Amino acid sequence: VQLVQSGAEVKKPGESLRISCKASGYSSVNYWIGWVRQMPGKGLEWMGRIDRSDSYTTYSPSFQGHVSISLDKSISTAYLQWSSLKASDTAMYYCTRQIDYYYMDIWGKGTAVTVSS
């Protein structure tokens, strides 16, 4: 049972990006995939989640409109996407198995995103 995230990315401001999170070892259980940001030297910030059963999404007000979360059920892969990156998007991004809004019990190793001109 694990979440495998895509590799580190280096991008320029204004570029688009999509990072991925592939779930494996799961049975068909009702859970969500959540995304958490950790900026360099800072704490954890919940960004949003997607329901694996119907792709319904919820976003933190802090991230609503800035990122998009999607899911390809056929390959058990969730995505976090930006249409126009900013330097302030530089961070580590973790995907998680989120059990409703209660807690996040499985974490991917993280994808480091660096945005710099």
Partner 1 sequence: EIVLTQSPGTLSLSPGQRATLSCRASQTLSSSYLAWYQQKPGQAPRLLIYGASIRATGIPDKFSGSGSGTDFTLTISRLEPEDFAFYYCQQYGYSSITFGQGTRLEIK
Residues that bind partner 1 (CB under 8 A): 34, 36, 43-46, 58, 60-61, 94, 99, 101-105, 107-110
What the block records as the tokens of 41 is 């030297």
Closest CA relative to residue 78, chosen from 39, 35, 37: 35
Residue 2 or 116 with smaller CB distance to partner 1: 2
Q: Closer CB to partner 1, residue 27 or residue 102? A: 102
From the CB of 71, what's the least distance to partner 1, in Å? 19
DSSP state of 87: G
Q: Per the structure block, which two tokens stand in for 105?
A: 């019990």
By C-beta, is 86 or 109 nearer to partner 1?
A: 109
CB of 47 to partner 1, least distance (A): 9
Among candidate residues 27, 29, 2, the one with its CA nearest the CA of residue 95 = 2
Q: Provide the minimum distance between the beta carbon of 74 and partner 1 in the complex, in angstroms, as a whole number.
A: 26
| The residue count for the chain | 117
